[in-house]
């Protein structure tokens, strides 16, 4: 790879919706207008233009096996300027901030409580998972293990996580056991750009690098990750456009540096929305403790 070119590369991202269920319709039909983890992660069983060797296999392949072969074929046939990756987007489990906001109401949360460190009993600075959030993540981990076994869903070749505590812990609870069960190394990459939209809410302020390293010693922290949180400000909101640009940059870095065709991102509700917008796709909301799968086409723009 020409690293000087890669460092200055720019990509146009496009989400390819025809391979997965209609997430917008699922959200519309849901009582809380949020998408949950779908059977087989939402993959639509359909024919593909497959290599001859695959067609001649005596044993029928599972839909995910055929889809994975198709993705590999797409990447082999396209020029170096076009790449396809499947992203597993996981929203963290229920956090203490989610519960407190529901308790006091959105207006009271946004105008008062979200600016505090806590209510004197619980703290939501870099909000942690609730017991329900832990359970959601554990259930999702079992779903993953079963999907890999029965549906032959490819495990993510690379796993990235937001540095906020609720995502770090969700990543551990969802992926550590399935990775170990199938003999894969569990070394998620902590990536600053995957954080939630930056607001003046203290729940969006991250812990120090030292704390993350102490709590999650097997995690790999990306180069240049600061000790203190340099992004969060108590008097500033990141605009939607700024957030989408930040997720655009995160995707560009992943497509430039990571050759795996199957990528896991453990992120946040509005982070998923920003990723969808960066791919020119209408956003939808995802429920806590859920994984959705999407196919993203990246074209390098010179």
Catalytic residue ranges:
92, 196
Q: Is the dihedral of CA 300, 252, 255, 271 positive or negative?
A: negative
User: Please, is 234 exposed, middle or buried when counting C-beta atoms within 10 Å of its C-beta (0-12, 13-18, 19+)?
Assistant: exposed
Mapping DSSP to helix (H, G, I), strand (E, B) and coil, where does residue 268 land?
A: coil
CA-to-CA distance for 80 and 293, rounded, in angstroms?
A: 24
* End-to-end alpha carbon distance in the chain: 15
Q: Which of 300, 272, 276, 296 is nearest to 85 (CA)?
A: 296
CA distances (Å), 231 to each of 75, 97, 184, in order? 36, 20, 33
CA-to-CA distance for 215 and 165, rounded, in angstroms?
A: 10
What are the backbone angles phi and psi of residue 256, rounded to the nearest 5°? -75, -40
Q: Which of 43, 99, 100 is nearest to 292 (CA)?
A: 43
């Amino acid at each position: 790879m020409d690293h000087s070119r890669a460092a200055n590369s720019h990509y146009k991202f496009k989400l390819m919706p025809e391979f997965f269920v209609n997430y917008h319709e699922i959200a519309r039909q849901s009582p809380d207008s949020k998408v949950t983890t779908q059977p087989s992660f939402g993959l639509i069983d359909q024919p593909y233009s497959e290599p001859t060797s695959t067609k001649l296999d005596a044993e029928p392949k599972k839909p995910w096996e055929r889809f994975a072969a198709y993705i590999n074929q797409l990447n082999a046939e396209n020029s170096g300027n076009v790449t396809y990756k499947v992203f597993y987007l996981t929203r963290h489990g229920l956090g203490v901030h989610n519960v407190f906001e529901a308790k006091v109401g959105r207006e009271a949360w946004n105008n008062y409580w979200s600016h505090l460190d806590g209510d004197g009993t619980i703290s939501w600075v870099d909000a942690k998972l609730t017991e329900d959030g832990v359970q959601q993540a554990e259930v999702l981990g079992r779903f993953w293990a079963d999907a890999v076994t029965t549906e032959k869903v490819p495990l993510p070749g690379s796993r990235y996580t937001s540095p906020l505590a609720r995502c770090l812990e969700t990543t551990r609870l969802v992926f550590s056991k399935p990775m170990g069960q199938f003999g894969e190394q569990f070394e998620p990459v902590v990536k600053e750009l995957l954080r939630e939209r930056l607001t003046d809410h203290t729940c969006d302020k991250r812990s120090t690098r030292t704390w993350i390293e102490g709590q999650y010693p097997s995690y790999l922290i990306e180069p240049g990750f600061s000790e203190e949180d340099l992004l969060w400000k108590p008097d500033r909101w990141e605009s939607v456009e700024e957030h989408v640009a930040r997720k655009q940059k995160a995707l560009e870095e992943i497509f430039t540096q990571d050759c795996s065709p199957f990528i896991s991102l453990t992120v946040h509700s509005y982070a998923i929305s920003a990723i969808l917008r960066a791919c020119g796709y209408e956003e939808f909301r995802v429920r806590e403790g859920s994984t959705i799968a999407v196919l993203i086409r990246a074209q390098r723009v010179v």
